[in-house]
Structure formats: structure tokens, C-alpha cells
Structure 1
Amino acid sequence: MNKEFFKPIECGQTLPVNNVHAVSVSMPTIQDVIDYEEQTPEILEKIQSGYPRFILHPYLKKLGLFIKEKYLISDAYEVVVLSSKKAVELISDKYFIHNKIEINEPFGVILVQKGTCQLQKVLTYIQHVGCNLSSRLAEEYLYNEGLINTLHKEEVESKDTAKDIIIQTLCDAYSQPKENICLAPSGMNAIYSVIRGLNSIQSHNGRNILVQFGWLYLDTMNIVNHHYSQQKIFSDITDLDLLEEYLKENGLKISAIVTELPTNPLLTSVDIKRLRKLCDKYNIPLVIDTTFATPYNLDLRDYADIFVESLTKFACGNADVLMGAIILNKKHNLSHMTTEFFRHCESVYVKDIQRLAFEIKDYKTRVKKISSNTKQLVKYFETCSYIDEVFYCFDKNNKENYSQTIIDDNSYTGVVSVTFNKPIKEVYDRLNFAKGPSLGTEFTLLMPYTYLAHYDMIVSKEGNEFLKKISLPIDLIRISVGIEPINEIIKEFERIKD
């Protein structure tokens, strides 16, 4: 029965399986991951789609070729489609690209001259800012032009009610008014808009240093690098003494402190009460990425000034919608600045909203089931001889930091990271769970985190030393726990005992 419950998924298959709008892709072996990172021709033939900010969706490729033919664009240029004309202006101004093209389309188009270094810079910046064109918009466009024969069938909510369903769910979850919530086409676009807003507002006050507290998600740090000439990184989220000493001298120069709670992928937590007191002392806005915590596991309303959440994860639960949200905390008097924080967000395509509205109705139920499974899986791991280290949000070193913020006894964030006392290939390749990027899915999803997020550091001596410095194990496997029966999840891990 165990082998029937979790079945191998071939490399390159979408996750979820057979879903053209999937945001993850199967990489079932460590060698697949290495080949992907090294971009071997064999793996590129297998992996045609993946996380939309990293891999160009097949529909976007097809759309780019169609636009090139439709507008008779010279082969000297590469066509890049974007979420909007506003995004085109952003990219054009940043990289001094002014290859004019007059179009009448419901999206943006930018022309990048071939044979220059600009193309990779543009694609990387789009990845960081999250202004990718929706695959559902591309799908509908191609269908209407007769370039594809079918539309993907999925359950959705009505156009008339979909956005209200999402906003109201977030209003209830975060206890905030509707006007304090803004949707974005990805979590990174939400982060980008907040950082741009902070930069614009705080620079007038002489506050031009942004503090990144903890080793944050890579693209969050990249956005900061793009928009702040001065930033300070504190990689150890548990060392508030170091932060406090820094603030004694620089507190009035800080535009904001950005952190994740808990951190990705080591699930470390900050002493949130003490951090809030430091922010209050120097009047520093605190931005918290709550994607891992979710509003249902940790109650952070007394602490964050601004919440940012990737709705692609637990709110969606099916890894088939890219979306994010900014939530301003009414308790911390930033409501009068909503325009500045929200105006940099790209618009969200209506069909993405309709799909997420259907999925988000199960958000709370999904999170509670995942939390319960996570708690039981952690207990199992703590008895396993083949496990080296287990990282989860209630680890014994940080449990006291959550004592006043947990909502109930089962509030384990739905991610566990582990290292094994066996080679990673032996463990990862043998398990039949879905394996690929992303998290927050109803199906258990494994990711060799350091291999996919920091492969360049794995293959260099300096990178290895840096990974040791920030205590990030190379052979770490991040487990996004699903809603499957917990006994089946545990049975699958039992397969690697021998």
C-alpha cells in the first residue's frame, strides 16, 4: 500500500502533475538537480516549465515568437513579454533600453538587442521584481489566436466575487480592513513594492539603510541590493545583542528591518518581543515575511508593521497560482501610506484571482491539517537513527520565543528541514515523494534546498566556507509537509532506514 500511495514522478513532469499552470517541476534525483543547475542539454529537453520566475513558461515562449512575427520584429532583437506596460517602463529606465515598439496588447513587450549582456540582466531583474506575465493570460491569448487548441480545465470562482473572497479571507486572517490589503502577481512583487515604498518614504527622513535580519530568501536580498545603496545584513537571527549595538549608533538612519519568521530553510525564530521593542525605540518599521508562519500558525499582529505573504504557497496549496499580498497593520499607523506601498505592485490577472479564490477557501483547514502532520513527523524524526539534524519552528533552542505568539498546540509551521547521516543521493533519490522547488502544497514536496538555491556556493571553496559561516548544510533537504495521512508519510520515510 505504501508504494502505491507515493509513486515516482519522472523528471520534467509538472508538479502538480499534468497541470500546465504548475509552479513546480519534478527533479527526482540529485543528478537531475545538478544537471539543471549546470544547464546540460539533456535536462533542458526534459524540463520545459517550472517556477515561473526562474523558468520561462512554454506559453510565454510561444507568445514571444508570435509577437515577433506579428509586429515584424528584426532578428537582431529578443522579444521579452512582461506583465504590463508599467513594467516595460521600469525595465527600460533601469537598463537604458529604448528600442521603441508600438503595440496594442494586454501586456508589455520589451525588445533587447541580441549579442549584448542586457538580456540576462533583464531576465534576472524580472525574476527579482516578479513582473512576469501570467501563464493564464498567455494561454487565453494563444487560444484566441488559434495557436493552442485547448484551455486547461480547473475549478474557479466567479469573476464577480473572486477578488472579494481572497481579500476577505486575508482580512479575517490578519484582522485588518480591506483597504490595508493589496494583491500582487507574486510574493516577490509584493516584497519589491514594499521596499520601493520604504525607500521613497524614508529617504526623505534621512533614513537610507535597510537592515536584513536573518539570512533571508535570496531574491529578497537581491531586491534590496537593487534599490538600496546601503544595507546591513545580520545573518544570525538569534543575535539581537549585535543588532542592538548597531542600532545605538545607526538607529535613526534605518529605513526598516526586514525579516522572515521563521527563516527559510532552517526555521529559526527571532525573539519577536525584543525585536519589536528595538523597532519602537528607534521608530523603525518592521516588515515580516509570514509565508512560512501563515496567519493561522503565529499571531504577529502585535509585532509587524507590514506583513508580506507569498499566496503561491499555503494559501494556494496546489502550486498552480503565482500571487502575493501586502498587509499593512492598522495597529502601527502606516495606513496613510497605503498608496506609496501599493503603487509599485503589478496588476493580477483575473483568471489567477479566480483560481486562487477557489483554493483559498480551504486555507485555514489546510494549514491546520499540515501543522498536525508536521508535529507528528517531527516526533518521528526525533527517534530516527538515520537523521542527523532536524530543523523546525519549535526547536528546543527557540521555543521560548514563540510562547506568547503560537495560536494553539498544533501550530507547527508546515516545513521541516533535515540532514541525514547517509549521503544525500542515497536518501533523496530513494524517496517517492514529489521532489522540486516551492512549498506549501497539499502534497508532500521535498527540495534539496542548498543545491537548488545556492549551487554556485556548493561548487566553490569560498562558497563552501560561506555556507559553513551561516550554518547552512549542503546536504539539507527541505520537506514541505502535505495533508496525506501521516502514517503514509512516515511509512515512505521508513524506506530509507535500511
Structure 2
Amino acid sequence: MTTSHITPASGVRPEQAPLGTPVPSVPHAISVSLPTFKDNVDYEEAAPRVVQAMVSGYPRFFVALKVKELIAICEKKFGKPSEACFLWPSRRVAERCRSFLERYYTEGPAVRIVEFTIYAPASEIRPGAPKQVKVFATFFVKEAHGIAKQFWQHAGDIVSSRLATHCLRWLSLKAEEDTAAAAATAAPASIRMPRGNRHYSSSASAATTTTSAKTPAGADLTGAVSSLGLNDKEEDDEDRPVEEAVDGMDNCDYEVYVEERYGRNLDLSFAPKAKVALRRRIASQVAHHVRSNWNGASEYVTEDDVYLYPTGMSAIYNAHRIALTLFPERKSICFGFPYTDSLKVLQKFGPGCYFYGHGEDADIEILEKEILEKTLGEDVKEEDKIVALLCEFPSNPLLKSANLVRLGELADKYGFMIIVDETLGNFVNVRILEYADIVVSSLSKIFSGDSNVMGGSLVLNPQRKFYKGLKAAMETEYEDLMWVEDAIFMERNSRTFQQRIARIDENTEALCEFLKAHPKVKEVYYPKYVTTANYLTHKVEGKAGFGGLFSVIFHAPNGAVQFFDALPFYKGPSLGTNFTLACPYTILAHYYELDWAAQYGIEKNLIRVAVGLEDRDVLLGGFQEALDAITDEQK
């Protein structure tokens, strides 16, 4: 059984995706189907039946197969038998990975970095398009692979699946051209070499590289690159219908055909314009919400204050890293229970952090007395001061909204920055920037919606006192690492984000009202019901809603399992998709620290739901069906 492409506004539910397959069933999907509660538990325990079924996954947790293929080429060409590697989009990122390994894995030999340059084949050279692509391999002993994977997961400055696919395609075409050139040289002049189909050049591979290890260019890589299996016909299919042209293609064929042949993706030379469009779109949305009593509201933030990153976690990691360039000895504060990797970033990069996991108003007074009051005075050491406070608005998965007004007052009084992750609130619903020094967001979520591209953004507040220092740090530290094809897709997907958010807000509120009134439901976590006053303080006037995410727990001991297994919508990691997507969040995010998470109200059997664009009746009917499956109610 295969998944079908989702039409979110349809009255028909999508068929359930098989375990381990992409969600949605498109190239570069960023979620994966884990359709039962046990599948999620077995995924965390690395059960063979789940591991063997996985052909996709969230890119920071599951290294995409195309990225693994490119890694295998690098390891074969540049590595030693005792070594493994990860690939990065820049040398600076590779060096930061090396520093992370040297800090957390001290038993192995020196970590080394290899530069891998892949040149465009002749058939791909055109004005404005990239002529070469560089990736950087950090090599380490195989025993340190788990530590390197932590850097990949936490920092988020990853090589995307589209970048890896592009590199593999170039390697393949270059090998084909070299083979054809060699054959032409050896063939008699009277023999005409067959020409390949101009739309479907065959893709099996070799490489042109430059490397700090001085490995000879053109070494044999053909065995490490699998053929894309594209057609090699004389037929010109300029006018062939899509259905006929794609008949019989495998997944890789279809990807190249749709994205390049039929213009779903633009020419790569359009990428700089796509990135400008993204930055302007974000800046205008943020500026539009500034209160009229702020000076220069219409020019409150410009595209020059917006920075793009390859993932949302990269934006968080780099916000923390940039803040530390101003005050490298100071610790951070994590206020509220955040997404798991956000806390790990504060703990593992830099001097460490203080954690206030409940994130409620009462915790602010405790925070001031326990930590902040000790940071004032002439004799206070630099390492005792605070660099920044990070919080989510609202938080994941309990949807709590922090009192940003009060936290901002403390920041001004005690001299630290405020960094807010507004992914769940999103640009349309909440007004955040005027209360923060830095606002970060995962563009992979509802801003994109299609669940087929990763990205993140960071916005600086020009009216906060640390702005000049942060801006100067950005001038020297920032790298644009969003791959060009990802930027083009992100720009395309996000053109309708305001309209989609409005519909999803309405769907989510109706669904939460339905669930909250149901006798089998113990609690619904949703900004309308949780720390409501704080959310309303920052909610944009007018039709803005409460977002598209909620979490739910049930009275019945086994209610979560029965509900989740019966829920007739897609189930997997991620959120902010145009289609409804659910997961047993605590199992996926905190399986090996369940008792610790429970201290902060994160119950083991919590189900998190990201609501999509489906017809409301379809949503209500599907959730009623799942509720009907709960049979062991607690008396």
C-alpha cells in the first residue's frame, strides 16, 4: 500500500501511510509514518522491525538516504577504515563540529576536515547557476559517531536532502560525460555516438574534487553512487502529457521530472531573489503587527534584520551562539519547558544554563530571587551574569505562554537579552518582536506547510539595546547556508501562509472545543485554555487565532494508545503541516527521561496534534471515531 498525495481541503481522509514511509509521499518529505503507539515506542528502542522499515524521517534525527549516499562516497574516497564522517554546508560548521567532538569525545585521535568540491557537468553550466558546490566532511573515529550525530541534531546546520541529491546528480552526469568523452575519443570517426534524451540524462556517477587530504581528483566513485535510472531515449517528449511521461518512473525519476521538467521548482539562478522575497515577507509580517506607539512602526524591522537558516533549530542554535559572542562567559536561562533540542543547545554549547521548566508567572519571581538579584553589583563576576533568556511562545507541548512583558522588564533591569521562539504562535497570530532582542522561527512548520523543505529564520529587534552588538556580530559570523533549491521551495510554499493559518486556527479551535467537552478527555492544552492572559497580551488584534497545535490526555489508563491507534489521520513527527499530523510527543521526545519530564507536567501518554486544512466535518468525524475506540475508561 502506498500513500496518496494530500488534498488538505478535501472531504476524503488520506489513507494511512505504512510504517517508515515518508509523510507526505513526496520527495524530501520531512516527516515519517509511525502509525501506532507501539511503533513509536519501538522506534525509540530501535526495534529491528521499525529500523528496517525506515526510509524517511525528520532530517535532524534521521539522516536522509541521499545524504547517507553522499556520506558513503566521501568515506570511501577520503576516509580510513576506522573512520566515519558527517557532511556540512560550510567549513565553519565543520570546524564547530570538530570542536564539539573534541569537547565531548576525548578518547580518539584528532578530528580532521576534508573539503569536497563538486563541479557542474557541462550540461548544467548556464548563466546565474552555481558552477560548483562544496561540502565539508568532518572525519572522526567510528566510536564517536553518536557524539557527531548530536551536533547534527542540536545545531541543525545540516546538509539538506535536496543539496545531497543535487551533488549526486552532478557526480552522476559528470561521470556520464567523462565516459562519453572517452568513448568518443576511442571510437572511429565514422561512428556517431547516440545522444541521450535531453530531458532525462542518465544519472550514474563519478566526481571531481578538491580536498585538504590531496586525494587525486577523478578517483573511482562509480561503485558508491547508485543509478537514478532515468530514461535514455531519442524521443522528444516536449508535448507529452504528464501522466504518460511519468508512467513507470521510480521515485528519483519523478523528483527530477516534476521539479525540473514541469517547473514546480524554478531555475537555481532565481534562488537569490527567492531568499530576498522570504526575508521581505517575514519582515513585512513582523512590522505590520508593531503597535502604533512604537517609533517608526512601518520601518520597525527591514529585510536586513532577517536572517535565513537551513533549519529552525539552526536559527535557535545560532541565536544562542551569536549572543555568546558578546558575552562568552555568561550562562543562559531556559524559561518554560521547551522543545527538547532547544534546551540541549543551551546546556551543551557555552557555559551552561539555568532551567525553569514550568514557565509560569510565579516562576518569574523565583527566578529573580534565585539568580538575577545576584548578578547586580560592581564585584559580580562575568560568569555569574546572564547572557540571554530563551523561551517559546507558546511552549511545546503544553502550549504555555510566558509573561514576556515582565520578562522584558527583568531583562532591562539586569542586562540580558530575550530570545523567543515563536514557531507555535507564528507571525500571523502573535506580536512578539517588540518584546525580544531576537525572534527565531522554524519555517519548516506552518510557514511552509507542505512538509517538504526545512528552514529557519532569525529576526533582530532594531530598538533593543543589544542590537548594535548583535548586528556587528552577524556581519562577521553569519553564513547563508540555506540551499538554493530549498529556498525556492520555501518561497513558493509560503506565499499562502496567512490564508492557511487562518483556516487552521479556525479548525483547531473548533476541534479543541469539541474535545474539551468530551467526557473521555481529561485535559486539552491549548493557548485559549492555558496561561490565557499572557497569550492574549500578545495576540494580534482582529481575526488572529490561537494557533494550530494542541495536546490532549485522557482519563482512561490506556486511552492514549487506543485513541492514537484509531485516529484516521497521518501520524509522525513534526507539526505545522497542511494536513493533520499527530504523535505521542513525550514518547518521541523524552522516552529515556520520562520521570524528569513528568516533573514539569509532561505526561507519558500525552498526544500532540497539529491540525491541518481538512474540512471541519472530516476532522470532527475522525476524532469522534478515535474517541469511540477508547473502551477502558477509568471509573
For this structure pair, what is the TM-score category when the shorter chain's length is used for normalisation?
over 0.9
Deviations, residues 428-453 of structure 1 (Å, cap 9, x unaligned)? 11111110000000000001100000
- Matched residue SS, 2:86: strand
TM-score if structure 2 supplies the norm length?
Answer: 0.73
* Conserved 8 A contact 2:584-2:607: yes
Q: Which residue of 1 aligns with 2:277?
A: 165
Task: Provide the rounded CA distance (Å) in 1 between the counterparts of 2:12 and 2:284.
Answer: 39
- Matched residue SS, 1:104: strand
Q: Is 1:405 aligned to residue 538 of structure 2? A: yes
Q: Which residue of 1 aligns with 2:212?
A: none
Q: Which residue of 2 aligns with 1:461?
A: none
Task: Provide the rounded CA distance (Å) in 2 between the counterparts of 1:445 and 1:218.
Answer: 19
Q: Is 1:143 aligned to residue 169 of structure 2? A: yes
Larger radius of gyration, structure 1 or 2? 2
Q: Which residue of 2 aligns with 1:232?
A: 354
Deviations, residues 117-162 of structure 1 (Å, cap 9, x unaligned)? x111011112111121111011112122124243443423543521
* Conserved 8 A contact 1:142-1:148: no
- Matched residue SS, 2:500: helix
**Higher mean displacement: 185-194 or 248-257:** 248-257
- Matched residue SS, 1:495: helix
1:63-462 alignment, distance < 5 Å: 63-69=70-76, 71=77, 73-96=79-102, 97-99=110-112, 101=114, 103-105=116-118, 106-114=134-142, 116=143, 118-144=144-170, 145=172, 146=204, 147-149=227-229, 150=253, 151-152=255-256, 153-154=258-259, 155-157=264-266, 158-175=270-287, 176-203=301-328, 208-238=330-360, 239-246=363-370, 247-250=372-375, 253-336=385-468, 337-341=470-474, 343-345=477-479, 347-395=481-529, 397-407=530-540, 408-422=542-556, 423=558, 424-458=560-594
Q: CA deviation at 1:74?
A: 2.9
Q: Kindly tell me: are residues 65 and 467 of structure 1, through their superposed partners in 2, closer, same or farther at Cα, counting changes over 3 Å?
A: closer
Q: Kindly tell me: are residues 103 and 273 of structure 1, through their superposed partners in 2, closer, same or farther at Cα, counting changes over 3 Å?
A: closer
Task: Provide the rounded CA distance (Å) in 2 between the counterparts of 1:98 and 1:398.
Answer: 47
* Conserved 8 A contact 1:27-1:435: yes
Q: Which residue of 2 aligns with 1:476?
A: 606
Q: Which residue of 1 aligns with 2:32?
A: 25
* Conserved 8 A contact 2:570-2:580: yes
Deviations, residues 28-74 of structure 1 (Å, cap 9, x unaligned)? 001111111111121111112201100111001111222334x2633
The 4+ residue runs of structure 1 with deviation greater than 3 A are 96-103
1:1-80 alignment, distance < 5 Å: 4-17=12-25, 19-69=26-76, 71=77, 73-80=79-86
**Higher mean displacement: 424-433 or 405-414:** 405-414
Task: Provide the rounded CA distance (Å) in 2 between the counterparts of 1:168 and 1:57.
Answer: 30
* Conserved 8 A contact 2:12-2:618: no
* Conserved 8 A contact 2:276-2:303: no
Q: Which residue of 1 aligns with 2:249?
A: none
Aligned length: 483
Q: Which amino acid aligns with 1:377?
A: L
Q: CA deviation at 1:189?
A: 1.1
**Higher mean displacement: 332-341 or 133-142:** 332-341
Task: Provide the rounded CA distance (Å) in 2 between the counterparts of 1:41 and 1:307.
Answer: 40
Deviations, residues 233-254 of structure 1 (Å, cap 9, x unaligned)? 1112112221222322236711
Q: Which amino acid aligns with 2:353?
A: Q
Task: Provide the rounded CA distance (Å) in 2 between the counterparts of 1:485 and 1:373.
Answer: 8
Deviations, residues 357-397 of structure 1 (Å, cap 9, x unaligned)? 001111111111111111111111122112110000121x5
Task: Provide the rounded CA distance (Å) in 2 between the counterparts of 1:410 and 1:323.
Answer: 24
- Matched residue SS, 2:18: coil
Task: Provide the rounded CA distance (Å) in 1 between the counterparts of 2:140 and 2:113.
Answer: 10
* Conserved 8 A contact 1:449-1:478: yes
**Higher mean displacement: 165-174 or 236-245:** 236-245
**Higher mean displacement: 151-160 or 104-113:** 151-160
Task: Provide the rounded CA distance (Å) in 2 between the counterparts of 1:60 and 1:385.
Answer: 47
Aligned Cα root-mean-square deviation (Å): 2.0
Question: Among the aligned pairs, what percent are the same residue?
Answer: 27
TM-score if structure 1 supplies the norm length?
Answer: 0.92
Q: Which amino acid aligns with 1:99?
A: R
* Conserved 8 A contact 1:265-1:417: yes
Q: Kindly tell me: are residues 138 and 297 of structure 1, through their superposed partners in 2, closer, same or farther at Cα, counting changes over 3 Å?
A: same
**Higher mean displacement: 282-291 or 72-81:** 72-81
